[in-house]
């Protein structure tokens, strides 16, 4: 309705101007109409000026409105009265839009303050910084953890922790590491996790810092407890029969050495008993030596020799290598790998060793089944990391077994050494990767390697 009113007024002004110009043209500058000519000319000029002013009035309103947005000044108010109905309606609408802008801005500022309060009061240290080291945000938890005040550059952290200052600039997005520090004379271990994101075209890094010294000590004590139980079990299994049999052999010998007879004759049966005792002692001693050697191998893994290789090619080679064993046990081994080349930078021999161990374990888990099947699959996860899965359709594992599966010398197999999976986890950690297991009773088991 207002827009039609605006068009009508504009049309009347244009029509009046056209009539005035038409009359002015009809006079044809006659001398007897000179006064009329001058008056009519002034009237035409006045109409042109009023028409331009009328049309520019809306432009001026919009210009003020746009300038307010440009300079973030949402306090501007547009006069509603005395300008005609159309102008009043336009001014009202512009005022409503300005109010909406003010509401959105107030809501945005409230959300910003809300998140700032959360970031400042959260118990985890947060640092955001640019790739050149300039710090954008350092929350209170980070200041307390690092024992610093307000900082401008990441490099300033080198005064309190040289390692942390360097690693924050060197770590790739998604990487984690443990940084040792001294806090008030006490040892602390800071878990650092860095991610990279894009903010208004700039690359910005966000680092989370957390002191996990207490958790590490608890895990260390738990690990020591598990290790001591394993060592006690293995050593006692060997030492107990050694002690018992050596005592029996000594007792047999003392029986004859303590007799008054000048000549002692050992019967064949007694000699055989002593011989069996000594053989058992020797066998258990060899087992104890083998256990110590396996334990030493678990703790002395060489540094990975990195190279770039095709994952699909490696999986096919493993299938070819184990083909006869799988055929002998009547187990089906399937390999799934992407058609395109999937390249991985790692120690090829270590990765091969880990996969062969997992595939053999899977084969042993299903070889008694008539439809035993093992699947070796490579893919990229949601973060474009190479993942390799070894899945079987075997009987699965209990929750208790899964919790202990990576503990050294723990094995679900009767003849298992319990070294393979522990060694595999060590090798994956050397690659800064992970190995995990998923299993349900009756649903099979899947081991997943992430690099």
- 311 within 8 A of 385, measured Cβ to Cβ: no
- 363 within 8 A of 321, measured Cβ to Cβ: no
Specify the CATH number of the domain 307-450: 3.30.565.10
Q: What distance in Å separates the CA atoms of residue 181 and residue 167, rounded to the nearest whole number?
A: 13
Burial group, residue 253, by CB count within 10 angstroms (0-12, 13-18, 19+): middle
- 179 within 8 A of 190, measured Cβ to Cβ: yes
Tokens representing residue 20 in the block: 């005035």
User: Can you tell me whether residue 178 is helix, strand or coil?
Assistant: strand
What Å distances lie between residue 334 and 26, 358, 448, CA to CA? 101, 14, 16
User: Can you tell me whether residue 363 is helix, strand or coil?
Assistant: helix
Residue with tokens 């547009």: 78
The CATH superfamily holding the domain 122-211 is: PAS domain (3.30.450.20)
Q: What distance in Å separates the CA atoms of residue 163 and residue 179, rounded to the nearest whole number?
A: 7
- 41 within 8 A of 24, measured Cβ to Cβ: yes
Residue with tokens 């878990």: 191
Give pLDDT tens digits along the chain (451 positions). Answer: 444 555 666 677 677 777 767 666 666 655 556 666 666 667 767 777 776 666 667 777 777 778 887 777 777 777 766 556 666 777 788 788 888 888 888 888 888 888 888 888 888 888 888 888 888 888 888 888 888 888 888 888 877 777 888 888 888 888 888 888 776 656 678 888 888 888 777 888 888 888 877 777 677 667 666 666 666 666 666 666 666 666 666 666 666 555 555 545 555 566 666 666 666 666 666 666 666 666 665 566 678 888 899 888 888 888 888 888 888 888 888 888 776 678 889 988 888 888 988 888 888 888 888 888 889 999 888 878 889 999 998 888 888 788 777 776 666 665 555 667 877 888 888 888 888 888 888 888 999 998 8
The pairing of beta strand 332-336 with beta strand 373-380: parallel
pLDDT at 185: 58
pLDDT at 259: 54
Q: What distance in Å separates the CA atoms of residue 14 and residue 54, rounded to the nearest whole number?
A: 11
Q: What is the pLDDT of residues 236-267, one digit of tens each?
A: 666 666 666 666 666 666 665 555 555 455 55
Q: What distance in Å separates the CA atoms of residue 212 and residue 218, rounded to the nearest whole number?
A: 10
- Output the CA torsion 396→398→403→404 (10° steps): -80
Q: What distance in Å separates the CA atoms of residue 439 and residue 447, rounded to the nearest whole number?
A: 9
CA 213 to chain centre: 21
Residue 186: CB atoms within 10 Å: 8
């Amino acid at each position: 309705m207002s827009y039609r009113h605006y068009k009508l007024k504009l049309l009347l002004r244009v029509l009046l101007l056209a009539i005035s110009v038409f009359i002015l043209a009809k006079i044809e500058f006659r001398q007897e109409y000179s006064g009329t000519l001058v008056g009519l000319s002034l009237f035409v000029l006045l109409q042109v000026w009023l028409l331009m002013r009328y049309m520019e009035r809306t432009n001026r309103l919009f210009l003020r409105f746009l300038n307010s947005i440009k300079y973030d000044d949402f306090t501007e108010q547009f006069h509603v009265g005395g300008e005609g109905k159309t102008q009043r309606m336009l001014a009202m609408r512009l005022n409503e839009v300005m109010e909406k802008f003010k509401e959105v801005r107030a809501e945005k500022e409230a959300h910003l303050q809300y998140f700032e309060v959360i970031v400042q009061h959260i118990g985890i240290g947060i640092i955001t910084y640019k790739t050149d080291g300039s710090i954008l945000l350092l929350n209170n938890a980070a200041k307390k953890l690092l024992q610093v005040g307000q900082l401008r550059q990441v490099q300033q952290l080198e005064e309190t922790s040289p390692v942390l200052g360097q690693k924050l600039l060197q770590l790739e997005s998604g990487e984690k590491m443990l940084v040792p520090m001294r806090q008030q004379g006490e040892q602390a271990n800071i878990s650092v996790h860095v991610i990279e994101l894009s903010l208004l075209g700039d690359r910005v890094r966000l680092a989370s810092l957390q002191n996990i010294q207490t958790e590490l000590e608890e895990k260390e004590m738990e690990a020591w407890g598990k290790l001591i139980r394993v060592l006690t079990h293995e050593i006692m299994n060997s030492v107990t029969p050694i002690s018992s049999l050596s005592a029996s052999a000594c007792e047999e010998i003392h029986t004859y050495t303590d007799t008054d007879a000048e000549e002692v004759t050992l019967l064949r049966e007694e000699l055989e008993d002593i011989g069996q005792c000594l053989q058992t002692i020797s066998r258990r001693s060899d087992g104890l030596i083998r256990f110590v050697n396996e334990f030493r191998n678990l703790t002395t893994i060489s540094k990975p020799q990195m190279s770039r290789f095709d994952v699909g090619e490696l999986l096919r080679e493993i299938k070819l290598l184990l083909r006869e064993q799988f055929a002998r046990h009547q187990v089906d081994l399937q390999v799934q790998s992407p058609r395109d080349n999937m390249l991985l930078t790692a120690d090829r021999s270590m990765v091969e060793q880990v996969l062969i161990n997992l595939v053999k374990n899977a084969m042993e888990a299903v070889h008694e089944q008539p439809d035993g099947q093992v699947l070796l699959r490579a893919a990229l996860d949601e973060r474009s990391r190479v993942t390799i899965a070894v899945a079987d359709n075997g009987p699965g594992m209990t929750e208790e077994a899964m919790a202990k599966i990576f503990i050294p010398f723990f094995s679900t197999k009767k003849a298992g050494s319990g070294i393979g999976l522990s060694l595999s986890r060590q090798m994956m950690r050397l690659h800064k990767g992970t190995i995990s297991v998923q299993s349900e009773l009756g649903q099979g088991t899947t081991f997943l390697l992430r690099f």
